[in-house]
Amino acid sequence: MRDEEPRAASGSLPQEFDRAGTVQRGPLVDPFGRAITYLRVSVTDRCDFRCVYCMSEHMSFLPKQDLLTLEELDRVCSAFIARGVRKLRLTGGEPLVRRGIMGLFASLARHRTTGALDELTVTTNGSQLPKYAAELKSCGVERINVSLDTLDPDKFRAITRWGALDKVLAGIDAAQAAGLKVKINAVALRGVNEDEFPQLLEWAHGRGMDLTLIEVMPLGDVGTGRLDQYLPLSLVRARLSERYTLEDIPYRTGGPARYVQVKETGGRLGFITPLTHNFCESCNRVRLTCTGTLYMCLGQEDAADLRAPLRASEGDDLLHAAIDEAISRKPKGHDFIIDRRHQRPALARHMSVTGG
Ligand code: SAM
Ligand code: SF4
């Protein structure tokens, strides 16, 4: 695949002008012909938890003035939506701890009303859902992802360091009561929650929620040995198959998860295996950090600054030009996949910055 030539020299379709002379910008298509239809935005690097695989206990966070304001975040998101992005996910850090975040949801809701956006969604640790679930629903959010690795209160505290399980469970109750469809994401951690997957699965499916398991990724310094945490999902799947009938299904949610139907529970189970499989051929996404840096690939260093063009003028022409330039540099795939092929150690970065 990597020997193929890019299909176009520039990342997106050429500019055209309407009768009034206004620049009409086309959809975003990268040099390999992939349409960019999914934007993930990390709205803050801060969090009310300190999960052991994500953060060290003593984190230093970005100074507030480096962050895009909520208005600026709206401008960038809207620029991407004008160029064909149809799915927008707010993440973090913990997106729901950013002050005034519901104002951003409320303003982005207009793109759901016009039909420009198919999906406005969020990945959250759930702690703020009792407060915000109903409001999210009224902003056109229909499905949310809640991260929950264990149903054991002590383990939950050990994994999140600062979190309380009962608050998250209350958040999930509130989300379901508000009519939000909830998917549970759990990171598979060796020796921590590996014996709990049947219980998690039956609990989630019993409440009508899909469960997705995620392989821990070696991203950022978290102050503990990564190899201690790593549990390959191939092993988890093999163990679950001894107990349940797992049937591969083509169900997709626009993300990298591959799903099976669990015959005994009737629910869906997803696997996200970034280190053992890659899905770069069909990659439709880019990631924006809370400082306005655009990462065109989770597994590559290359990034583009959108904050400077955003702040340089009130109009969006410079911003659109910077987006075009960035998309024209979207790489074909992950470095760590290539490294695996060459038997070199996997190299992965960025998740702590880009929000996963
Ligand atoms: N705070 C929110 C939450 O926890 O859902 C959103 C941000 S968090 C970075 C997004 C997802 O990334 C969570 O499901 C979390 O479990 C996952 N995650 C964080 N660090 C990870 C790592 N090193 N490997 C795999 N998944 C990770
Ligand atoms: Fe916070 Fe989410 Fe990272 Fe946990 S995984 S520390 S909840 S950002």
Domains in the chain, please, with CATH? 28-354 (3.20.20.70)
Closest ligand 2 atom to residue 93 Cα is 8
Residue recorded with tokens 């695949």: 1
pLDDT score, position 338: 34
Buried b (16+ CB within 10 A) or exposed e, 42-77: bbbbbbebbbbbbbeeebeeeeeeebbebebbbbbb
Residues 6+ apart with CB under 8 A from 172: 126, 129, 146, 148, 182, 207, 209
Question: Distance, CA 158 to ligand 1 centroid (Å)?
Answer: 16
Q: What is the pLDDT of residue 266?
A: 97
Closest CA to 46 of 70, 62, 65: 62
Pairing of strands 210-215, 181-188: parallel
pLDDT at 9: 40
Among protein residues, the one with the nearest Cα to ligand 1's atom 20 is 54
Cβ of 47 less than 6 Å from ligand 2: yes
Say if CB 51 and CB 99 are below 8 A apart. no
For residue 145, the ligand 1 atom closest to its alpha carbon is 5
If you take atom 8 of ligand 2, which residue's CA is the nearest one?
A: 93
Residue 157: partners with Cβ closer than 8 Å, 6 or more residues away: 163, 164, 165
Q: Which of ligand 2's atoms lies nearest the C-alpha of 47?
A: 1
The owner of tokens 């709205």 is 43
Residue spans of alpha helices (H) in the chain: 70-82, 101-113, 129-138, 153-160, 165-177, 197-206, 226-229, 233-243, 307-312, 317-327, 335-341, 351-354
How confident is the model at residue 87, as a pLDDT?
A: 97
- Phi/psi at 278 (nearest 5 deg)? -135, 150
Number of residues written out for the chain: 356
* DSSP 3-state of 76: helix
CA of 49 to the centre of ligand 2 (A): 6
Distances in Å between the Cα of 83 and the Cα atoms of 22, 66, 79, 223, 324 are 15, 26, 6, 40, 10
> Whose atoms come closest to the Cα of 156: which ligand?
2
Ligand 1: atom nearest CA of 226 is 23
Question: What is the torsional sign of CA 254, 257, 263, 266?
Answer: negative
Per-residue pLDDT at 59? 87
Binding pocket residue ranges, ligand 1, CB within 6 Å: 47, 53-54, 91-92, 94, 123-125, 147, 185, 187, 214, 216-217, 219, 351, 355-356
How distant, in Å, are the alpha carbons of 127, 130, 138, 164 from that of 168? Answer: 5, 9, 21, 7
Total-model pTM: 0.90
Q: What is the mean pLDDT of each run of 10 residues along the chain (356 residues)?
A: 43 52 80 95 97 89 94 98 98 97 98 97 98 98 98 97 97 98 96 96 98 83 64 94 97 85 98 72 91 90 94 96 96 59 39 55
Nearest atom within ligand 2 for CA of residue 48 = 1
> Strands 119-124 and 143-147, how do they pair?
parallel
For atom 11 of ligand 1, which residue has the closest CA? 356
Q: Cα dihedral angle (130, 132, 138, 141), rounded to 10 degrees?
A: -100
User: What distance in Å separates the CA atoms of residue 138 and residue 206, rounded to the nearest whole number?
Assistant: 26
Gyration radius of the chain's alpha carbons: 20
Cα separation, 304 vs 290, in Å, equals 13
